[in-house]
Structure 1
Amino acid sequence: MEKKNIDWANLGFGYVKTDYRYVSNFKDGAWDEGALSTDDTVTLSECAGVLQYAQTVFEGMKAYTTEDGRIVTFRPDLNAQRLENSAKRLEMPVFPKERFVQAVLETVKANAAYVPPFGSGATLYIRPYMFGTNPVIGVKPADEYQFRIFTTPVGPYFKGGVKPLTIRVTDFDRAAPHGTGHIKAGLN
């Protein structure tokens, strides 16, 4: 597969729209079969659970091109497990782990032209996420959800390397016991 004409060496850590994303909807207690889509827009009610109560969880991983030209990801099954843990904590339906991994692989394959070449220093960032879609005005979980995966080629998060910084250590806890600091959620 021929790669897209992108200046891989100077790519920052930002969003570059790719051709396909994966979308699956949860309604009436079940996930639909899901599919790849070229539509990068999300249409929501102004009262959607994600907007009113931050009912959203997400993951992040990368795909790489190896020296022999293969495209690989690193342990997507562990990202699937963490998304499951995050969803359960926010009383969201679990997106099945096997389907999560398969959807990641399908999305990466569909966007293979955006996976940076070996040695470029860039990667294809993969963002699986799920959010409450139906209107929710009372404090309760949504009934309908959407699971999506988008990809974007990125350069290093810290261009030029990590710079040392001065920090202050306090007794303040960011994550309270039995709270949500151990999951990846929009409310963090």
Structure 2
Amino acid sequence: MSTNVNIDWDKLGFAYSKTDLRYISIWKDGKWDAGKLVEDNNISISEASTSLHYGQQCFEGLKAYRTKDGSIQLFRPDENAKRINRSCERVLMPEIPVDKFVDACLQVVKANEAFVPPYGSGATLYIRPYVIGIGDNLGVGPAPEFLFGVFCCPVGAYFKGGLAPVNFMISEKFDRAAPHGTGADKIGGNYAASLLAHVEATKKGFADCVYLDPATHTNIEEVGAANFFGITNNNVFATPKSPSILPSITKYSLIHIAKEYLKMNIEERVIPIDSLGEFIEAGACGTAAVITPIGGIEYKGNLHVFYSETEVGPITRKLYDLLYGIQFGDVKAPEGWIVKVK
């Protein structure tokens, strides 16, 4: 196993790289086995697995952070455990006990400690838990067996050159999810459905697209694979409310920070696309980037600019700095948010 790794932390991107060990557990005959760490980063499954043909699978994403004193910590892994279980329930897969999920993540981080980037590099260790249906199953129905896996890899700071606004366009041809579908769950089909819209947006010079609600196409839902928020001129942190939005752990952390640290008012509500003018700042939030400041959104041929296309708004920056500081141990965290690895 690696004790020292030869990685240029400053040049890391958000890309896969193999680390030493990963965790695998199998569900069979009504229960999960004890699970184990393995060296092989390939898995062997039946060609008839439901995950391959019917999309019976889900995943999560979280990070391990190196603090100034050299210790390592996870950020709210219990919330990832709860969310993966909601996803499992939606596509008829067995739930994973929260303690088992968190322990699997801890085992993987400890086993790959050498790959946790140093404090100050802006890089982190990305952790990817997943559950897939496996075994011989030709008909449309739940799999006879399931695999719960966790792997990790070091990833660079999402923002090369610092926090900076980017522009988005409204997706008028594509929906991310169906009404009453799986939009609130972290399953692969939602992401597959977004690939074409993302490519078309980037071809037009935008970072990604903003999806409107699938029922009426009048209200903002998600920004690419992230949640939307807006800041009003009367100190309100507003974010869309819809049954087809993935509940972002980052977003709900920002809601707490906005309310408790910055004394802002919080509104989870319908946000019509025609009401962009009420926001003086806007952003997208998620695990990968923490916050992506939104410079402007193009809708029906017009670009609506929020604070600036080149400068980050002051409230957005405060939110980012506070959450980033909590994750890296520089700002006192709310009770229960941090799990120490070592």
- Residue 156 of structure 2 aligns with which residue? 155
Higher-Rg structure is: 2
* CA distance in 2 between partners of 1:29 and 1:149 (Å): 21
Distance 1:181-1:154 versus aligned 2 partners, 3 A rule: same
Distance 1:104 1:21 in 2: 9
1:165 aligned counterpart, secondary structure: strand
Kept in 2, the 8 Å contact 1:8–1:120? The answer is yes
Distance verdict in 2 for CA 1:11–1:26, change over 3 Å: same
Cα RMSD, aligned residues only: 1.8
Matches for 1:26-105 after TM superposition, within 5 Å: 26-105=27-106
TM-score normalized with structure 2 length: 0.52
The one-letter code matched in structure 2 to 1:35 is: K
Q: Of 158, 163, 166, which residue of structure 2 is paired with 1:164?
A: 166
The 2-side partners of 1:139 and 1:8 are apart by 45
Q: Is the 8 A contact 1:3 1:115 kept in 2?
A: no
4+ residue runs over 3 A deviation: 157-163, 169-173
* More helix by percentage: 2
Q: Which amino acid aligns with 1:185?
A: I
Q: Once the 2 structures are TM-superposed, how far is the Cα of residue 165 of structure 1 from its aligned partner?
A: 1.9
Deviations 1:46-79 (A, max 9, x none): 1111101011110000001000111001000000
Cα shift at 1:3: 4.5
Q: Which runs of 5+ in 1 are unaligned?
A: none
Structure 2: gaps spanning 5 or more residues: 191-342
- Give percent identity, aligned residues only: 53
Larger strand proportion of the pair: 2
CA distance in 2, matches of 1:3, 1:119: 18
Structure 2 residue matching 1:79: 3-state secondary structure: helix
Instruction: Name the counterpart of 1:109.
Output: 110
- Return the alpha-carbon distance in structure 1 between the equivalents of residues 18 and 31 of structure 2: 29
* Distance (whole Å) between structure 2 residues aligned to residue 121 and residue 127 of structure 1: 19
Q: Is the 8 A contact 1:57 1:130 kept in 2?
A: yes
Aligned letter for 2:16? Answer: Y
Kindly provide the amino acid, as one letter, of the partner of residue 62 in structure 1. Answer: K
Higher relative contact order structure (alpha carbons within 8 Å, sequence separation ≥ 6): 1
Distance 1:4 1:28, change over 3 A: same
- Whether the 8 Å contact between 1:67 and 1:118 is mirrored in structure 2 is yes
Q: TM-score, normalised by structure 1?
A: 0.93
CA distance in 2, matches of 1:45, 1:28: 17
